[in-house]
Amino acid sequence: MSDFATRLLKWFEVHGRKDLPWQQNATAYCVWVSEIMLQQTQVQTVIPYFNRFMRRFPDIAVLAGAQQDDVLACWSGLGYYARARNLHKAAQLICADHGGRFPQGIEDVVALPGIGRSTAGAILSLAMGQRHAILDGNVKRVLARHNAINGWPGTANVANQLWNVAVRNTPQSRVSEYTQAIMDFGATLCTRTRPSCTQCPVSADCDAFRLNRVEQYPGRKQKSSKRLRTTTMILASVAGQVYMERRPEAGIWGGLWSFPELGEQSLQDWCDEELGGEATETLSWDVLRHSFSHYDLDIQPIVVRMDSHASRVADDDTKTWHRLDAAPPGGVAAPVKKLIDRLKRLENGAHR
């Protein structure tokens, strides 16, 4: 075992996290769900979602047999919804191709939707004790600093250097503990800002620490100015109900329920064509801004009062009149949830 791994494991024995919910029953399914949720999301945010998800979908077969709307509804608020869609698809493939048992070969695991080399390695290491290196965001930072590897890890050259170091440091024994240790170390001690170098178990031979350049590693992607997109969302309301549509699988919020967006046509033309009725009253709300990683989206909400429902909506499973006093028909994105809640308050006030 390398000296790096030995020191990290000793640190983990005292300071590592051992009470996370997915550690209490570290089956491949539990670890898989947690690893997908933890992609680009903090542990404390994930915990309540993980617990709720496992109560609703306790095993692969239940998840595979669920409706996508139910899976997305359970994921609502966690963001990056492609993760949930891929999780659902992967469960169905596991049932179809692997007899409902999570595969044990890394090639088979990487072949599943939404799982790359690092996630596959983490699952097989944590759940089955197999020796596989991992390279999530925290580990990239740890290894880039310890070895003073220059450049942004998103480039192939830098990533290859980091993978080589990750493989070299991964021990033959206590692999599960080491995997958890290096993730915990990056998340709690070797943090992105203000790392605790004085408490670091591997600072003695950390090249970035020696050079006094810890916060310069890993290299960062060159920033580009964020784009701004705009859209108009229609909140067509009738007697405590609001019209909603399921979004296409491709694009943002794929498969989630949302409000229709007004394109080039006029609002009245949209009401005529889509709902077969006239608006009796319209109300424009303040613009709601929602930020994505690469752009901001400004949403102009327009509440449209209608006299009656459109009969054509009832026969289409991608459209519905949603009762504001009921749970959403499936998953909804955070800004859509905000608009639903605001409309609910408005409707409740109107009926007092």
- Residues recognised as catalytic: 35
**Spatial contact of 162 and 135, defined as CB atoms under 8 Å apart:** yes
Q: Identify the three-state secondary structure at position 31.
A: helix
Residue 295, strand partner residues: 227
Residues 6+ apart with CB under 8 A from 9: 171, 174, 177, 178, 181
The H or E element spanning position 43 is: helix 43-56
Give burial (CB, 10 Å; 0-12/13-18/19+) of 318: exposed
Nearest residue to 32 (alpha-carbon basis) of 63, 73, 70: 63
Q: How far apart are CA 27 and CA 30, in angstroms?
A: 5
Write down the residue that tokens 């390398």 correspond to.
Answer: 2
Total Cβ atoms within 10 A of residue 326: 9
Tokens encoding 114: 């939404």
Query: CA angle 139-104-22, nearest 5°?
Result: 55
**Spatial contact of 46 and 79, defined as CB atoms under 8 Å apart:** no
User: How, if at all, do strands 241-246 and 288-291 pair?
Assistant: unpaired
Q: Inter-axis angle of helices 117-128 and 28-37, to 10 degrees? A: 140
Contacts 24+ apart (CB under 8 A), 12-18: 12/177, 12/178, 12/180, 12/181, 12/184, 12/185, 15/184, 15/188, 15/189, 16/177, 16/180, 16/181, 16/184, 17/43, 17/180, 17/184, 17/188
What is the Cα Rg of the chain in Å? 24
